[in-house]
Amino acid sequence: MLAHVKKIILAALCGCMVYNIFSVNKALHADFEPEIGAAAAVVMFEDGRCVYEKNADEKRLIASTTKLMTALVAIELSAPEQPVEIPAACCGIEGSSMYLKPGQTLTADELIAGMLLCSGNDAAEALAVGLCGSEERFVAQMNEKAAVLGLNDTAFANPHGLDAEGHFSTARDLARLMLICMRNERFARLISLPAATIDEKYYVNHNKLLGRCEGCLGGKTGYTRAAGRCLVSCCEREGTRFVCVTLSDPDDWNDHLRLYDAVFAAWKNTLVVSTEERYEIPVAGGVRETAIAAPEREVRLFLPRGEEPETVRELPRFTYAPVREGACAGRIIVLYGGEAAAEVKLIYLRGVDRRAGGNGIDMEERLQKIIAASGLASRRAAEELIAAGRVRVNGAVAMLGDRADASRDRIAVDGKSLAPPEEKVYIMLNKPRGYVTTLSDEKGRRTVSELVGELGVRLYPVGRLDMNSEGLLIMTNDGELANRLMHPRGGAEKCYRTSVTGENIPASAEKLREPMLIDGYRTRGARVEIERLTDTGGVLLITIGEGRNRQVRKMCEQVGLRVTRLVRIAEGGLTLGELRTGRWRELTRAEIARLRGTEQGHENG
């Protein structure tokens, strides 16, 4: 039934881009050799592959570009409005400064902004001492984070970047770090500020590229006499993002402009397959003549400008009813240079039932369920209406056991047509910090409903994550399912990545595994894994199977741990995966089915 296409064995691809970026890069390095004055440099595409490099792995002093890691660690250890009091020892540090005063109190984000915009060494030191108690402990966190991120040619000796033995990085590691930082919305917002007023002082961003370079999203400068001029920046044009790093470059601003203009002129992140594409497939024996198929996801390839890949679409000439929504209809194969670069499934957007035949109709749901979903009556009351002969389907009196399709059949109760049920929507949101889990808030705080407003449907959060908690949150307009899921007795497991501070983390983790009494309720023991340990605490993966208000935070408090960050990463068999903070996606049919078989509580952030 599928059109004949030569079968191609596909290599494993990363984000549908790995193959063609790899093959293209070889040509790029051969033909693309701009003249720049940097001792070391890199231009890196957003997936981590370099399109230009010069001494990229040479370990060098990096001056204040150090503060990229300082900012990332500080963000992970703090809330935006967390107050930090400035110790006297952090004031008057040599080099660029915010000119902080002893005893002054600023928020974590004000200090991070001052550190990124005007490169305040005093701000970096104040964050280190204020969040970890000492510079040494904070620097240990920086080095630990570098190891976790795989920055194997990077080491830190201080949080500000003044020259020190054992303090170095490479152009390649800094580019990778910048890409990671720019995926953090809090970091990206702060580093892009052209200026900021902090405690009645006005600070201007030292990054001249913000005003001079089209599409510049942010950057960090650095200079010491030994390190020379250092610059790390990020730029995006037409949906394509690059990071550029130059170390010891006397003409760094102009070199970044030249490099960006050159790579954007030569390369483009090309949309090859769009999810907006639609394909009509004839249906034999169905209540509708055609079924609509669309790509399961979009496909983008990183290609030289002016070059277009070939796409081969495999679709059936027709199909038989019934057609199941979400089923595979065919596939699109993307070819570049005569070889397979990507493949994506085509799926049916809506099911098609079998047409009436013989003595009956192939109907989807029991009538009482359809009536209950319309809100007219409960399922039990709907059964009584049917038994009393008060329900008709397409003009015929219905009987108990009959089935119907609410989208196709005319259903009437006591002569009045049944209102069509609202289409059910089920989504997963990656809730960011600072949002309350309500539809509206009398205090004017930001709500999760603002993050899904584009759907145009009133969705209710299933349970809660408190304002300072993050991660997986299910939202739906299916009230019946939501009520079942929020039953406090729970049942489904939920996993939280929990950053904590405290003493003897292994002993505390052992206590968390035991039942404990919280607010008069005896909890079941949690499953606890230690993901990593730090000088001041660690990161725990805490899995629970019940749903009590702020349960994880209260459990940790009871064993002497202070929670600094709480992210729900899994729930009821659903995982957050690569869903970015503040973004949402629709649940798959399999995920919805999994939830329908689960009862769980959610108020445990």
Cross-strand partners of 544? 494
Cα 286 from chain centroid (whole Å): 40
SS3 391: strand
In the numeric block, the tokens 């890069």 are attached to 25
DSSP state of 463: S
- Residue 471 — left, alpha, or beta (φ > 0 → left; ψ -120 to 50 → alpha)? left
Task: Find out whether 394 and 410 touch, Cβ atoms under 8 Å.
Answer: yes
Measured distance CA(343)–CA(255) in Å, rounded: 38
Q: Residue 14 corresponds to which tokens in the numbers above?
A: 């990363």
Show the DSSP H helices in 91-233 as ranges: 108-117, 121-132, 135-148, 171-182, 185-191, 209-212
Pairing of strands 328-336, 339-348: antiparallel
Measured distance CA(559)–CA(511) in Å, rounded: 7
Task: Find out whether 225 and 250 touch, Cβ atoms under 8 Å.
Answer: no
Q: Residue 394 corresponds to which tokens in the numbers above?
A: 């397409």
For residue 87, cis peptide bond before it (omega within 30 degrees of 0): no
Measured distance CA(522)–CA(541) in Å, rounded: 21
Measured distance CA(426)–CA(473) in Å, rounded: 11
Pairing of strands 460-461, 416-417: unpaired
466 has catalytic annotation: yes
| CA diameter of the chain | 92
Which of 75, 63, 171 is CA-nearest to residue 121?
63
Q: Is 224 exposed, middle or buried (0-12, 13-18, 19+ CB in 10 A)?
A: middle
Options 255, 466, 478, 519, the catalytic residue: 466
Task: Find out whether 45 and 175 touch, Cβ atoms under 8 Å.
Answer: no
The residues, ordered by sequence, that sit 6+ positions from 437 with a Cβ below 8 Å of its Cβ are 431, 447, 448, 461, 463, 464, 465, 466, 473
SS3 472: strand
Residues 498, 499, 503, 507, CA torsion sign: positive
Q: Residue 409 corresponds to which tokens in the numbers above?
A: 């059949």
Q: Residue 323 corresponds to which tokens in the numbers above?
A: 């057609």
In the numeric block, the tokens 């059964």 are attached to 383
Cross-strand partners of 470? 567
- Rounded to 10 deg, the angle between the 121-132 and 135-148 helix axes is 90
What's phi and psi for 522, nearest 5 deg? -90, 115
Catalytic positions, written as ranges: 466
